[in-house]
Amino acid sequence: MPKINKYVDIDSVEREAKKDLIDRHSPFIHCEDSAKNGEMFSITVKMGNEYTHPDDFDHFIANMSLFNGNTLLARADFIPGTLGNVKSHAQVTFNIVPTGSKLNLVAHAYCTKHGVWESTPVEVAVV
């Protein structure tokens, strides 16, 4: 099992280089805080909040996955050059149909140079 790196509050990190590394490798979940049971719901996963990530042949985001708890909901795979070989915020929107009373969303992203990174969990009420 690979090591999973997690986002830490970058206000607590002192060195700018460390902030850059953490931010650009962390996936961020963007969605509404409630969803309708049985209806399409959009969830966007974006790499980095402030800093962009490289898109080089040997250093790129290879995939982003979305989980509800331990259940894999969706995954997007990328090849080098998908973002035009320029630093960018890789981003993908997953559309799912939620059931149950809530979603416990977590995103993972795999950087070919720095491994697997995990988002901060996001809870969505399903009504």
Give the model's pLDDT for residue 35.
Answer: 98
Give the model's pLDDT for residue 83.
Answer: 84
d(CA 46, CA 97): 20
pLDDT tens series, the chain, 127 aa: 567 877 765 555 566 666 778 888 899 999 999 999 999 999 999 999 888 888 999 999 999 999 999 999 999 999 998 888 988 899 999 999 998 999 999 999 999 998 899 999 999 999 9
Annotated domain spans of the chain: 4-126
Give the model's pLDDT for residue 43.
Answer: 98
Note the maximum CA span of the chain. 45
Length of the chain: 127
Q: Which CATH architecture has domain 4-126?
A: Sandwich (2.60)
Give the model's pLDDT for residue 13.
Answer: 54
d(CA 18, CA 78): 25
Is the whole model's pTM more than 0.75, yes or no? yes
Give the model's pLDDT for residue 14.
Answer: 61
